[in-house]
């Protein structure tokens, strides 16, 4: 004989945690944030390089012997 052990049943339904639109929005927002940070970082490295070159140039001109020496 075939019979059911219980007459109750359990229905399992999967519901997405977020919609496709929210997923794409989150991905786009994150990519925008990373691109913004990358651009800011590149600008800061360029600024650091220019400052470093300026300091090196100023030190080299300060340490260079002057041609206007007055020998007595």
For each of the chain's 72 residues, which pLDDT tens digit applies? 777 777 888 889 999 899 999 999 999 999 998 888 888 888 999 999 999 999 999 888 887 666 665 554
Number of structural domains (the chain) is 1
Q: Dihedral sign, CA of 21, 22, 25, 26?
A: negative
User: Is 49 among the domain residues?
Assistant: yes
Report pTM.
0.49
The helix/strand/coil state of 1 is: coil
User: Is 58 among the domain residues?
Assistant: yes
User: Is 17 among the domain residues?
Assistant: no
Tell me, what's the pLDDT at 68? 60
User: Is 50 among the domain residues?
Assistant: yes
User: Is 15 among the domain residues?
Assistant: no
User: Is 6 among the domain residues?
Assistant: no
User: Is 9 among the domain residues?
Assistant: no
User: In which domain, by residue range, is 49 found?
Assistant: 27-62
User: Is 43 among the domain residues?
Assistant: yes
């Amino acid at each position: 004989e075939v019979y059911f052990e219980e007459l109750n049943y359990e229905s399992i339904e999967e519901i997405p945690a977020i919609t496709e639109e929210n997923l794409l929005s989150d991905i786009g927002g994150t990519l925008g944030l990373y691109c913004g940070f990358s651009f800011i970082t590149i600008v800061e490295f360029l600024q650091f390089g220019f400052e470093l070159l300026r300091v090196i140039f100023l030190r080299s001109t300060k340490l260079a012997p002057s041609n206007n020496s007055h020998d007595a």
